[in-house]
Amino acid sequence: MKKVFVTNKMPDKIVEELRRHFEIDYFESDDALSESELANRASDADAIFCPLSTKITKDIIDAGENLKIIANFGAGFDNIDHSYAKEKNIPVTNTPAKSSTTSTSEYAVGLILAATRRMVSGDKMLREGKFIGWKPTFYLGNELYGKTVGIIGMGSIGTRVAKLLKAFGVNLIYYNRTRLDEKLEQELEIEYMELDDVIANSDIITLHLAFSSELHHLINMEKMKMMKPDAILINAARGPLIDEAALVDALEAGMFRAVALDVYEFEPKVTEGLLKYDRVILSPHLGNTTVEAREEMGFIAVDNIKDVLLDGVEPRNKIN
């Protein structure tokens, strides 16, 4: 029987499905195994099934002498040395689940609402006993209606965010490396602009890019200075898109009405300077943390493993 090394705790239904078809070496924990432990347990595995938080390096790949597939649990795959895996003819797969798109886009809109209406700091203020009753000028936020929202990255999540935001009566602009077709732009009532123009003209900027090395620190101090002084910045995509040291400096200088982050440059570590500002919402990477999304993602990963180990065909979600 083929052996699958599962590097972290997974939803029960997914583990049950794996057990029906394979021998599994299951590290049933949310903690992280060391690189040497990962390499040791990969040594006799036919497949590695890992979450986005597990780094699969060249040394781990080399240790897996029987390795035939690395199935990532997540739409991203920058945690895996997929180029080296390709050199060794080992497919790497991801899980582009529709429910993940739905969950992440809903969460991004939630962050926008929380930032504009000061929900998180308001909760904290009340718990500290500072709520003294309704007043005409007490704890004012802003409504979304009529604001300009700039979406950077118009893949499935960015497009879904645009569809959801239409209901709020916002003005939508976007930047994407590949422009949408005219019909979809008209359907979404969204206008294409170059990146710097989106940054300069948006009241709210929300990032929905897949990360690649050329996008490291896409939002740096130069870009932040282009933004409106009271802009709101949302990142529910990938942490390294933002230079967090520059972001702290910008906050210190009084820039931004609010910032809401669900991902971090050095995740799970959060840059310390971000912790002291009430106008910064810090969320522990909850974008697609729904039962629906995680189960769909898990079954996609299992299907990729079955493709290779049971059916001997190319996996349906190969990325390398």
267, 279, 292, 295: the catalytic one is 267
Instruction: Using CB atoms within 10 Å of the CB of residue 22, give its burial: 0 to 12 exposed, 13 to 18 middle, 19+ buried.
Output: buried
Residue with tokens 């009405």: 257
Distance (Å, rounded) from C-alpha 171 to C-alpha 203? 10
Nearest to 215 by CA among 181, 245, 239: 239
Q: How many residues does the chain have?
A: 320
What distance in Å separates the CA atoms of residue 220 and residue 225, rounded to the nearest whole number? 9
Tokens of 312: 């001997």
Q: Which of 35, 285, 292, 295 is catalytic?
A: 285
- 285 as an active site residue: the answer is yes
What whole-number distance in Å separates Cα of residue 139 and Cα of residue 121?
A: 10
320 token code pair: 């390398």
Cβ contacts of 99 within 8 Å, gap of 6 or more: 288, 290, 292, 293, 295, 296, 297
Q: What are phi and psi of 129, to 5 degrees?
A: 80, 20
Active site residue 265: no
Instruction: Reply yes or no on whether 267 is catalytic.
Output: yes
Identity of the amino acid at 207:
L
Cβ-based neighbours of 159, under 8 Å, separated by 6 or more: 180, 184, 188
Catalytic pick among 208, 238, 257, 294: 238
The DSSP element (H or E) to which 37 belongs, if any, is: helix 35-42
The catalytic site residues sit at 238, 267, 285
